[in-house]
């Protein structure tokens, strides 16, 4: 468990570092080609940060409203409350508020900007189809997202994706509207190569940034699995829950592309194929189960 947690944290930090390095590379190209490197980077950061952090502080309310989730009382679902309260003590965080989605498809997600303002939401199908040990595995996974501040990590990646998208768009527009093109004017043949490289990178950078963001999301799922197993001290519980979730083919009606990344397993149709997996927010379930079985 300790090795899995440490490994996934290192990989997450490495991906975030690559993300930041990519932004500064794009800023340097922006300066060379359009003459707006530093000012363009600052402006893009401000615009992307304002939009992302506005959503960050209202994310729980937005997601719960979209998912048609409702708060529940301890009297209505005492076993859910008992599991959440017990695991919160084990995790060392305040007990999250409990919400339920009326849907027979089993799934769950966590949201909230910090442990003091957090929510765990499960479907009624999950409560019906999971035994106590499996439910503890699912809740511990979601509680790990809260404890690891994964909503903050996701917000950070959204900001960086927004910065890259804005800067790549500005680079392309500067050429379309007759920008400075310093690279080509001042450096001859080398400048022309720089222009070509800059334009290609500007065109591809939104795709590259999304791939990095999705890779970070997949690593955080592995981290939540390992951290959840640390909380319960019983990896087979979460592994068994993942098998049940994978075997259940019933669609979750409340889910959509905007909220799919939050759930413990992708509620939309699974993406198959090695190339298509790069565009998935979740790692393959068989890989997650294999990692749990090694603990």
The residues that are catalytic are: 142
Please give the structure tokens belonging to residue 147: 């404890």
* 4, 295 Cβ separation under 8 angstroms: yes
* DSSP of 168-228: HHHHHHHHHTT---HHHHHHHHHHHHHHHHHHHHHHHHHHHHHHHHHHHHHHHHHHHHHHH
* 108, 142 Cβ separation under 8 angstroms: yes
Rounded-to-integer distance, Cα 267 and Cα 108, Å? 10
Q: Residue 92 — left, alpha, or beta (φ > 0 → left; ψ -120 to 50 → alpha)?
A: left
Q: Chain-centre distance of CA 57, in angstroms?
A: 16
* 222, 118 Cβ separation under 8 angstroms: no
Residue 38's nearest CA partner among 48, 29, 51, 47 is 29
SS3 130: coil
* 171, 198 Cβ separation under 8 angstroms: yes
Element (H, E) at 241: helix 235-247
């Amino acid at each position: 468990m300790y090795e899995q947690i440490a490994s996934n944290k290192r990989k997450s930090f490495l991906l975030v570092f690559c993300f930041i390095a990519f932004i500064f590379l794009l800023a340097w190209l922006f300066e060379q080609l359009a003459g707006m490197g530093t000012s363009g980077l600052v402006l893009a950061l401000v615009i992307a940060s304002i939009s992302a952090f506005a959503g960050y502080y209202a994310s729980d309310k937005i997601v719960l409203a979209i998912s048609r989730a409702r708060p529940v009382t301890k009297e209505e679902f005492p076993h859910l409350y008992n599991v959440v309260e017990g695991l919160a003590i084990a995790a060392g965080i305040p007990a999250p508020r409990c919400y339920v989605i009326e849907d027979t498809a089993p799934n769950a997600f966590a949201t909230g900007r910090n442990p003091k303002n957090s929510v765990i939401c499960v479907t009624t199908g999950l409560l019906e189809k999971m035994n106590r040990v499996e439910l503890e595995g699912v809740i511990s996974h979601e509680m790990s997202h809260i404890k690891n501040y994964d909503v903050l990590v996701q917000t950070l990646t959204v900001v960086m994706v927004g910065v890259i998208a804005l800067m790549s768009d500005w680079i392309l527009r500067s050429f379309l509207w007759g920008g400075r093109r310093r690279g080509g004017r001042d450096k001859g043949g080398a400048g022309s190569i720089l222009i070509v490289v800059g334009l290609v990178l500007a065109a591809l950078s939104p795709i590259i940034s999304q791939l990095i963001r999705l890779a970070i999301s997949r690593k955080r799922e592995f981290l939540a699995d390992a951290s959840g197993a640390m909380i319960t001290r019983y990896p087979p519980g979460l592994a068994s829950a993942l098998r049940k979730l994978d075997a259940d083919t019933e669609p979750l009606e409340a889910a959509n592309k905007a909220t799919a990344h939050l759930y413990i397993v992708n509620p939309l149709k699974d993406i198959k194929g090695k190339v298509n997996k790069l565009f998935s927010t979740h790692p393959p379930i068989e890989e997650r189960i294999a990692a749990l079985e090694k603990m």
